[in-house]
Amino acid sequence: MPVNLPAYSELISFLQSHHVTLVAVSKTKPVSDIQEMYHLGQRDFGENYVQELVEKQALLPADIRWHFIGHLQSNKVKYIIPFVHLIQGIDSLSLLKEVNKQASKHNRVVNCLLQIYIAKEESKFGMDEAELEETIKLVLSGTLPHVSIQGLMGMASFTNDTQLIKNEFAQLKKIFDKIGNDIPVTYLSMGMSSDYKMAIEQGSNMVRIGSMLFGTRNK
Ligand SMILES: *Cc1c(COP(=O)(O)O)cnc(C)c1O
C-alpha cells in the first residue's frame, strides 16, 4: 500500500503549527514506503524491531534520523548503537546502563527517552516513578557519560475511554515538568495515530504515527 500523501501533508502542517515533531513509524512497511516519504522531506522514522531496523538502515539514506521505539532487549543494543538517533523505549535502568556501555565502545553519546508506564494495562512496558527517580539520580551523578536523557516517552491505554487517555497523558506531562527541574529535557513523546490530538492537547511535542500514514499493519 502506498503512503497516504494527503494525510501526510495535512498532518505535517498541523504538527508544524503546534511545534510538534513527527516520527513516522515505518515498522513492517517496505523500504519503498520510507523512500517515498523521505522524498517529501520526512527525516525522522521509527522502528520497533532491531533486525528490521538494521536491514532498512543499510539500504536507506544516511541522513535519516532513526528512532527505536519498541521494547529493546539488552543483548540487541549493540546492533543499533552505531547509528541510532534516539532510543525512545528506555524502560529500565539496566537497559540504560547497557546503552551507556555499548555507546562508550563507539565513542558515542546516545540520545535516549525514558519510557514511563502510564497505562492501566499489563502489556505495556516502562518505568514507574521510583525507578525514574533512581535513574535520574544516577544520570545526575555523572556515571553514565555515554547517554543523554532527552525526555520521556509514554503510551496511553488502548481504550475508547478518552477521559482515561487524557488523564494518562496529563499524568506523564506532570512527571515531565517535574523532572525538568532536575535535568534539561526537551522531548515529551506521546501520541499515535488514534490519540495524537489528545496527546498534543496535554503537552506532547513529539508524536509517533504509523498506520495513519502507511496504512494498517498485518503484524
Ligand atoms: C507502532 C507504534 C506506534 C505507531 O502506532 P500507529 O497506531 O500505527 O500510529 C507508536 N508508538 C509505538 C511505541 C509503537 O509501537
- Distance (angstroms) between ligand 1 centre and the Cα of 207 equals 9
Ramachandran angles phi, psi of 217, nearest 5°: -105, 155
- Distance (angstroms) between ligand 1 centre and the Cα of 24 equals 9
Q: Which of 135, 142, 150 is nearest to 88 (CA)?
A: 150
Dig out the grid coordinates for 116 from the structure.
514511563
Non-local (6+) Cβ contacts of 204 within 8 A are 20, 169, 173, 188, 189, 190, 191, 196
pLDDT, one tens digit for every residue, the chain (219 residues): 678 999 999 999 999 999 999 999 999 999 999 999 999 999 999 999 999 999 999 999 999 999 999 999 999 999 999 999 999 999 999 999 999 999 999 999 999 999 999 887 776 789 999 999 999 999 999 999 999 999 999 999 999 999 999 999 999 999 999 999 999 999 999 999 999 999 999 999 999 999 999 999 876
What end-to-end distance do the CA atoms of the chain give, in Å? 15
Write the DSSP string, 46-104.
EES-HHHHHHHHHHS-TT-EEEE-SPPPGGGHHHHTTT-SEEEEE-SHHHHHHHHHHHH
Which pLDDT does position 218 carry in this prediction?
79
Q: How far is CA 6 from the centre of its chain?
A: 24
- Distance (angstroms) between ligand 1 centre and the Cα of 105 equals 30
Pocket test for ligand 1, best of 87, 187, 192, 198 (most atoms within 8 A of CB): 192
65-99 burial code (b ≥16 CB/10 A, e <16): bbbbbbebeeebbbebbebbbbbbbbbbbebbbbb
Which pLDDT does position 125 carry in this prediction?
85
- 67 touches ligand 1 (CB under 6 Å): no
- 127 touches ligand 1 (CB under 6 Å): no
Write the DSSP symbol of residue 127.
B
What's the CA gap between 217 and 219, in Å, rounded? 6
Dig out the grid coordinates for 86 from the structure.
534516539
Q: Give the ligand 1 atom nearest the CA of 27.
A: 1
Which pLDDT does position 119 carry in this prediction?
82
- 132 touches ligand 1 (CB under 6 Å): no
Indicate whether this model's pTM tops 0.75.
Answer: yes
* Residue 80 amino acid letter: I
Non-local (6+) Cβ contacts of 142 within 8 A are none
- Distance (angstroms) between ligand 1 centre and the Cα of 64 equals 18
Contact 104, 93 (CB under 8 A): no
